[in-house]
A and B are shown apart, each in its own frame.
Chain A
């Protein structure tokens, strides 16, 4: 059974700082890994999707990496802004028919 852990559970940083969010998983037999953002009272928005064969993906100030051998993924946010404040969730797609397992999330607060 896939288990996904995200540490820290909460993070507070000053505006402009670069930061890294961590995601660990127990089963490396995955099809892909996604990072989502969740704003209070809203659904999830996909940020980046890394295929099993890829090592990293970039979108603007975001960079996500995947290391299946160590069971880890990181989400790097450069030059953080108050608008980045949200909960960030990683999700592993494994098993048949896109079985997805979510982590518990990291709540990020960027202080102006």
Chain B
């Protein structure tokens, strides 16, 4: 079974530039998550999709961050414009359909963003 795919793996940009990350979840997984992990901290949930609908984006800085999930499969996360404090690893995860909220999340390798 193929895992969660993310690209690019690394990105270096200057502040005020724009950047986009892509995630392809495991086939059949209904739930998709984007996390931000700053060095030395645990991952922080930015946005959670159930199929192609947003169920939680309470910690997404909506003035600069946006995300969409195309046809309930792939997802893109965009930052426009980037700030220095956005330097982090952006992790995508997915989990299968569930009625019991008990399933494991499967993580991709992440995209390391450096904002100069």
Contacts and interface: CB of A to CB of B under 8 A. Distances in A.
Contact of B42 (A31, A41, A104): A104
Nearest to A104: B42
Interface residues of A, number: 27
Interface in A49-63: 49, 51
Contacts of B100: 31
A34 interface: yes
Interface in B27-54: 31, 33, 35, 40-45, 48, 50
Nearest to A48: B104
A45 B42 contact: no
Interface in B7-35: 31, 33, 35
Nearest to B112: A41
Interface of B: 4, 31, 33, 35, 40-45, 48, 50, 55-56, 91, 93, 95, 98, 100-110, 112
